[in-house]
Structure 1
Amino acid sequence: MNKAFVKETEQDDDDDVVQAPAIPAGSKNYMTPAGYQRIKDELLQLIDVERPEVVKVVHWAASNGDRSENGDYIYGKRRLREIDRRIRFLTKRLDLAEVVDPSVHHGSDQIYFGATVTYANQDGEENTITIVGIDEFDPLKGKVSWISPIARTITKAREGDVVTLHTPTGVEELEILEVSYPAPGN
């Protein structure tokens, strides 16, 4: 049977969507002010710009007649469902968000949410990470989620402390070299 005659279900649409990390049960969706703003900007971009453009294309394509073989209509409707799904997801994430300003800890040497931490492993290799919200993590930029094993291990440690990180390859000792927070107002 031709795929054009098969009704798509929500499950089919979700198959190619990357699932966002779940918020641990009983936890809040902590975010930095910058992360909250970025998600809010994406939501407004979808609502104010992208969705209206796709609606115009779908409306135009629908007016051309036969919709069963109309690529603009079919793909426009699919894109509209993707946008609507993303809008619902972002709205839920923002509703659950608890914005935590890391600058309140400026000058502290103890690690909390929002800290930028430089640590050395047993081999002397130094790494710098920033502890951010679940929706903000980007390992390639050194941003790790507050629920990640490394973040949970180093949270509440201080400069100079040595902490034990349990990894799939074994136990690793990490020495906290530096802890910093953004200055208030930044």
Structure 2
Amino acid sequence: MSSGSDNIPMTPHGLRKLKEELKHLQSVERGKISKEIEVARAHGDLRENAEYHAAKEKQSHIEGRILDLNDWIARAEVIDPSKLGGDKVVFGATVVLMDTETEKSVTYRLVGELEADLKKRWIAVTSPVARAIVGKRVGDVATVQSPGGVRELEVQEIRFEEPQDDAPPSEG
């Protein structure tokens, strides 16, 4: 992720997840790691104390993650898919695509890079598939270069909905 002042597009759901993680790290993990460091420090000589060094390293990771989360939250540009509409594929859309060769359909949701999750079929708006379909309408065919060669994907449906939980987009 590039640092700086660029805005980071994300859905309200994505922002909520970042805030939940931040709150957990600040209210739970910070306290836990401080106690681990105290306990390890009580074991004596810090130079040869592996527990202490592991705990300090973990603390450093937690603090780094907290800084990243604060930065991302500050730069979040929230785009609510449920308030969008229209007949073109844009950020936040849930899109049903059919591979013209295999005639198999797949549903993707276009999200920000920080939210992308292949298990849920949430793809980053910067991914090759997303870049190929942005701006397309139902019936349009997008050409995507994939590891297995060129694929043609036909846009079958475009929906705008805000995910309520971590379920994959509903199959239309």
TM-score normalised by the shorter chain: which range applies?
A: 0.7 to 0.9
Deviation at 1:158, TM superposition (A): 1.2
In the alignment, is the contact (CA less than 8 A) between 1:109 and 1:180 conserved in 2? no
- Pair 1:147–1:115, CA change in 2 (3 A): same
Paired amino acid for 1:177: Q
Deviation at 1:65, TM superposition (A): 1.9
Deviation at 1:64, TM superposition (A): 3.0
Bigger radius of gyration among the two? 1
Which stretch of structure 1 is more off in the superposition, 163-172 or 97-106? 163-172
Residue 146, structure 1, aligned to residue 146, structure 2: no
Write the distance in 1 (CA, Å) between the matches of 2:109 and 2:59.
Answer: 35
TM-score, with structure 2 as normaliser: 0.85
What is the number of residues matched between the two proteins? 163
Write the distance in 2 (CA, Å) between the matches of 1:103 and 1:165.
Answer: 27
Match in the other structure for 2:83: 104
Match in the other structure for 1:71: 50
Match in the other structure for 2:95: 117
In the alignment, is the contact (CA less than 8 A) between 1:23 and 1:29 conserved in 2? no
Match in the other structure for 1:49: 28
Equivalent of residue 66 in structure 2, options 55, 78, 87: 87
C-alpha offsets along residues 16-72 of structure 1, whole Å, 9 cap, x if unaligned? xxxxxx249995310100000101110111111101111112023213321123233
Deviation at 1:168, TM superposition (A): 4.7
Structure 2 regions of 5+ residues with no counterpart? 166-172
Identity %: 36
Match in the other structure for 1:157: 136
List, as ranges, runs of 4+ consecutive aligned residues in structure 1 with deviation greater than 6 Å: none
- Pair 1:102–1:125, CA change in 2 (3 A): same
Which stretch of structure 1 is more off in the superposition, 128-137 or 170-179? 170-179
Residue 133, structure 1, aligned to residue 101, structure 2: no
Match in the other structure for 1:14: none
TM-score, with structure 1 as normaliser: 0.79
- Pair 1:99–1:164, CA change in 2 (3 A): same
In the alignment, is the contact (CA less than 8 A) between 1:109 and 1:159 conserved in 2? yes
C-alpha offsets along residues 96-142 of structure 1, whole Å, 9 cap, x if unaligned? 21111111124x33211111111111221111100011000011211
- Pair 1:47–1:23, CA change in 2 (3 A): same
Paired amino acid for 2:114: D
SS in 1 for 2:153: strand
> Aligned Cα RMSD in Å?
2.3
